[in-house]
Structure 1
Amino acid sequence: MNRFQHVWKDKVAVLSLSIISLTTMAGIFAPFVAPHDPAEVHMELRFASASWEYLLGNDHLGRCVLSRLIYAIRPSMLWVFAALLLSVLTGSIVGVLAGYFRGKTDAFLMRVCDVILSFPGYVMTLAIIGILGVGFENVIIAFVLMKWAWFARIIRASVMQYAESDYVKFSKAIGASNLGIMIRHIIPVALPDIAVISSSSFGSMILQISGFSFLGLGIQAPEAEWGMMLNEAREVMFSRPEFMLAPGLTIVIVVSAINYLSDTLQVALDPKLMTSTYKQQGLVRASAVKLEGKGVA
């Protein structure tokens, strides 16, 4: 049975994938999707309610909330995804080298990772931002510098179990190069594990970048970002709470969709979890049949 049939049969997973895809496309084509210029100021429309022209109303400078929400997809989601890819790529290279060669290579690389991971993530991120300065680019750099070590340690553990496989030993016996073995035999079987840990980290990174922007450490005005939009709406959070609902609900919906899709992918890519899921489904169906036979249903 195809692994991904489990994903397509899960309606919530399909809905989550649709939300992520539509949000991504809206961010990529923001100039064509957004109804107005996100930086265009109309002070006469300051905190104006929703209308047909401005579907989500206007913020404290009279800017279109919907347009800013759409443009905010780029830093809040797309640039975070780029930082995730760079972190995963760096961590994968280090993890594969450490897990395959072991010995002194493994000891040296893991000690470097231990040094980085010994500091609390948020504290080190704030320290890096303090050194480099406030700004979205510096937050992204801090994310990459802090995240790659975590990915490297997890990927190393995955690679170590595959490096002892019979087909790897056979490849070494016939004289295959280490680089060829890693590219042909190690990386392909480790990709599902890499995909699972990457997808599970994506949602948390979106929350973190929104949190830093909310605190004023991330993206700066006049650019739009979901966390910064929440911060800008704080002054009217009691009189006009709807201005906090738009970016807040967007964060909740997107992160929830990413997390659910990540869990579904983990089940689809892990044969043990897949078997367990089908066993549970079989028990539920059997119980339903028994209850129906007894007239309970």
Structure 2
Amino acid sequence: MKQLQNVWQDKVAVLSLSIITVTTVAGIFAPFVAPHDPEEVHMELRFASASWEYLLGNDHLGRCILSRLIYGIRPSMLWVFAALLLSVSIGSIVGVLAGYFRGKTDAFLMRVCDVILSFPGYVMTLAIIGILGVGFENIIIAFVLIKWAWFARIIRTSVMQYAEADYVKFSKAIGASNLGIMIRHIVPVTLPDIAVISSSSFGSMILQISGFSFLGLGIQAPEAEWGMMLNEAREVMFSRPEMMLVPGLTIVIVVSAINYLSDTLQVVLDPKLMTSSHKLQGLETASVVKLEGKAGA
């Protein structure tokens, strides 16, 4: 509870959480929040300026930019979050098994992870897209096939810290099953680490999916997605810079909020970082007091 209070005392963290919450809710209820159909074409409103009916104006086909921005939350954020959950789930299972059993199980699973991680992520993603074809679903599949190995390696390291703890040895001594020990004793203590690495990866995955869509490898027209909106506005970036500014700022704001909230969670959930931050604040306060004392003298 005290840790949660520290989060609520951080105004920037609260603002970041509010941005993420509002964006997520808007994406879930996009049909009710968006003022217009995002795919409805009005050529007479082509490149129209902002008005009360179209708050952010219209694009090159006269479509409502605000509506497309809201519907773009679903692929850019919600579907990426679903891919993240699936990747973390697979990586957690593999990491817990490898870190708990060790030996041959650990060696086999980690060699599989080494093979996957030996190739650059973007190269592997492009290779999978080349095999499966262009499309948003294929990018999500590529993310899951690549990301789980990275999560498995990190979670394995976390599990190994607790697998030899006294309470785990005691559970084995009284005849508890390996599955029961992993569920009751190993998984709960690794949840903070899983939460931190998941939140830190969320922002980078949003940037990656937007980047692939910007290159034309993700969602295809006429569906809305932030990266594709940037791609569509590329041809008029000098004559109509606001067309790129809206989706670009949205990506920057959302990813910045996610990254800051991730950093806050890492400090809150890791007592060592919390202690070091308090020490740093104490040293800064002491330095200020000394300087003021010298000035007063």
- Shorter chain as denominator, the TM-score bin is over 0.9
- What's 1:195 paired with? 195
- What's 2:272 paired with? 272
Q: CA deviation at 1:295?
A: 4.9
For the pair 1:254 / 2:254, whether they are aligned, the reply is yes
- What's 1:281 paired with? 281
What amino acid sits opposite 1:113 in the alignment? C
CA distance in 2, matches of 1:14, 1:214: 31
- What's 1:154 paired with? 154
- What's 2:70 paired with? 70
Alpha-carbon RMSD: 1.1
* 1:39-89: CA deviation from partner (whole Å, max 9, x where unpaired): 110001111111111111100110000000000000000000000000000
More displaced stretch, 80-89 vs 51-60: 51-60
* 1:274-297: CA deviation from partner (whole Å, max 9, x where unpaired): 00011112222233334444557x
SS at match of 1:240: coil
What amino acid sits opposite 2:106 in the alignment? D
CA distance in 2, matches of 1:199, 1:17: 12
* 1:73-109: CA deviation from partner (whole Å, max 9, x where unpaired): 0000000000000000000000000000001111111
CA distance in 2, matches of 1:3, 1:281: 18
- What's 1:8 paired with? 8
> Share of identical aligned residues, percent?
90
CA distance in 2, matches of 1:49, 1:145: 43
For the pair 1:100 / 2:122, whether they are aligned, the reply is no
CA distance in 2, matches of 1:287, 1:31: 55
5+ residue gaps, structure 1, are none
For the pair 1:24 / 2:24, whether they are aligned, the reply is yes
- What's 1:209 paired with? 209
SS at match of 2:206: helix
- What's 2:111 paired with? 111
SS at match of 2:134: coil
What amino acid sits opposite 2:179 in the alignment? L
For the pair 1:81 / 2:81, whether they are aligned, the reply is yes
Q: CA deviation at 1:123?
A: 0.4
SS at match of 2:126: helix
- What's 1:164 paired with? 164
- What's 2:238 paired with? 238
How many pairs align? 296
- What's 2:174 paired with? 174
What amino acid sits opposite 2:55 in the alignment? L
SS at match of 2:2: coil
CA distance in 2, matches of 1:33, 1:239: 30
TM-score, normalising length: structure 2:
0.98
What amino acid sits opposite 2:16 in the alignment? S
CA distance in 1, matches of 2:23, 2:188: 29
- What's 2:60 paired with? 60
CA distance in 2, matches of 1:200, 1:51: 38
What amino acid sits opposite 1:215 in the alignment? L
* 1:253-285: CA deviation from partner (whole Å, max 9, x where unpaired): 000000000001000000100000111122222
CA distance in 2, matches of 1:198, 1:69: 25
5+ residue gaps, structure 2, are none
CA distance in 1, matches of 2:253, 2:6: 22
Q: CA deviation at 1:10?
A: 1.0
- What's 1:227 paired with? 227
Q: CA deviation at 1:208?
A: 0.2
What amino acid sits opposite 1:176 in the alignment? A
